[in-house]
Structure 1
Amino acid sequence: MTRPYSADLRERALARSDAGETDRSIAEALQIAPSCLSKWRKLRRETGALKPGKMNGHKGRTLSGEIAQWLHERIQAAPFTTRQLTAELVARGIKTDRRAVWTFLHAEGLSFKKTIVPAEQDRPDVARKRHRWKAHQDGIDPRRLVFIDETWIKTNMAPLRGWGPRGQRLPAKVPHGHCQTLTFIAALRHDRVEAPCVIDGPINGMLFTAYVEQFLAPTLAPGDIVILDNLGSHKGKAARAAVRARGAHLIFLPPYSPDLNPIEQLSAKVKHWMRRAEERDHDATWRRVGQLLDIVSPAECANYLRNSGYASV
């Protein structure tokens, strides 16, 4: 690391400058840059001294002091994510990023959790079907694809994970005595979510057929390809007939392959939103789902398809 010029050299240079010698002449004589003279004069005017300032060295953590104290209180008050904490810090006028927040949380002894995938994907028969599907999935016009999925939502939902001290539980209080289960079902296209519906209770073959006939089929056009999970409730003849009557096709995904159904990502996001909302009332849960779907953009829909390996428009 380059050392700063000594105070003695600075004083001699400015003494010659004060005597009327030009900066270029002084610089040549003392083997320094001419700009040093102007910088030192400015330093003397502003501070009254020529002592060099601190150069590089250890940079303290930006999330320290009062900011760290606020973070301690914030992470204990309510669930959070690193993205959420970063946004809250920026809103308070603190310049930071997610990496700094992540580093702070780990320094505080906090850790995050991880997810799982179906082990059945390693079975030879399933792996063979998945390989065949992946070989052709990016060759289909995404404007023709319509992905169907249903997921449950309940009136006792709460965040699944959070940050907490290592070795200690992180409790979340939810009602265990009485809650209602609803089923959210919708269709995902490359640029929108269509035919959303919330059904009281779990879905079955009869309810799925009614959904296809009353909600999905009117949105279909000739040549559309409806893709859905390989579930028994999806295989009713009436549901297939309603799709074919619109000139569309119905295809089932390989088993144990939620990663090949882009709307699974939307379903996961809806459940995440609903856990954060922690709605405890039946009607409020219905309304919240509708509000959440309003903020799903066309770009987000396209990203879901792309992330699952399908072609983009």
Structure 2
Amino acid sequence: MAFVRAKFIESGCRKTSDQIASLLQWHYGIEISGGGVRAAFKRHGISYKRITRMDKRAFTERVKLLTRMFLLRRVMLNADEGVWADEMIYSSEEVGSNYGWMTKGERACQIDDGRSSGPRVMFLAAMTKEGVMQGCTLPVPQPLTVTGHVFEQWCEFYVIPAMIAQGKTYIVLDNARVHRKNVLRVMFAAAGLRVYFLPPYSPWFQPIEKIFLSTHMKCNRQVEHVRANFVRRVIDVLEAHTPAECAGCLRATGWN
């Protein structure tokens, strides 16, 4: 495990479990399968996703400095007054279920299992400690995409009024290109609100990412989520997260 930590966690390399198994055999002569690697990570309390998804650019000296500065600022922030916003892309092909049940001797049939080609939709959403902000989720179906102007209008007409109504004082965003920092800082400052941007390549500080993952899992488990109404269903599932779930995501990302 010391080799794995030094090679993959600290350097932030993207490796599959099979590639990690091959390197372990090359360096130490340990014969292990990819499934065995994942099981070993689980026993040691290491998230396999953390190893495979971290970007090595997150460990440059400049980004380390920005991360330390961000952590110092975060200590002074009250999670009860915060809002976290981001984008999630969802395809109707991912909606549906591979399993079902039927009376013995009869053929089970799902009219639309969501496997064929279908639209992809980008969802803009914001969350607080109390839950996902109701009425603020904005679907943007492809071929349209979220541009800087779309994101700014969403903030102006949806997020800022909701933040003022709920007594929130700041919002946390990542470093996506569409989040034009200078424009957003002025826009929120005009409403008496503050904007904080995450360090580059640091999605593990963004709690709404875990809400998006939970939404994917919940939608995929439900058979009735089909392409005909998947946008409405995804929004319903996204906004139905409980305060306990949102508070748990804040704790997992170090905000609470």
TM norm structure 2: 0.65
2:148 aligned with 1:209: no
Aligned residue for 2:243? 298
2:68 aligned with 1:127: no
2:157 aligned with 1:218: no
> One-letter code of the match for 2:61?
P
Query: Which one has more relative contact order, counting CA pairs under 8 Å at least 6 apart?
Result: 2
* Distance (Å, rounded) in 1 between the aligned partners of 2:184 and 2:210: 24
Alignment of 1:67-106 (within 5 A): none
Alignment RMSD, CA only?
3.0
* Distance (Å, rounded) in 2 between the aligned partners of 1:206 and 1:126: 27
- 3-state DSSP class of the match of 2:192? coil
* Distance (Å, rounded) in 2 between the aligned partners of 1:173 and 1:293: 19
Q: Deviations 1:225-280 (Å, cap 9, x if unpaired)?
A: 11101112011655444322221011211000100111111111112233334744
Q: 2:119 aligns with which of 161, 165, 180?
A: 180
Q: Could you tell me how far 1:218 is from its partner in structure 2?
A: 0.7
Contact 1:155 1:280 in 2 (8 A): yes
Alignment of 1:149-160 (within 5 A): 149-157=86-94
Q: Could you tell me how far 1:125 is from its partner in structure 2?
A: 1.6
Where structure 1 has 5 or more consecutive residues not aligned to the other structure, the ranges are 1-109, 160-171
Q: 2:176 aligns with which of 208, 231, 235?
A: 231
* Distance (Å, rounded) in 1 between the aligned partners of 2:37 and 2:218: 19
Report sequence identity in percent: 22
Aligned residue for 1:140? 77
Q: Deviations 1:28-65 (Å, cap 9, x if unpaired)?
A: xxxxxxxxxxxxxxxxxxxxxxxxxxxxxxxxxxxxxx
The runs of 4+ residues in structure 1 deviating greater than 3 Å are 110-114, 236-242, 274-280
Q: Please tell me whether Structure 1 or Structure 2 has the larger radius of gyration of its CA atoms.
A: 1
> One-letter code of the match for 2:236?
Q
Q: Deviations 1:115-134 (Å, cap 9, x if unpaired)?
A: 22222222222122222322
TM norm structure 1: 0.54
Q: Could you tell me how far 1:111 is from its partner in structure 2?
A: 7.4
C-alpha distance 284-112 of structure 1, shift in aligned 2 (>3 A) = farther
Aligned residue for 1:90? none
Contact 1:208 1:239 in 2 (8 A): no
Q: 2:231 aligns with which of 269, 273, 286?
A: 286
Matched residue count? 190
2:250 aligned with 1:308: no
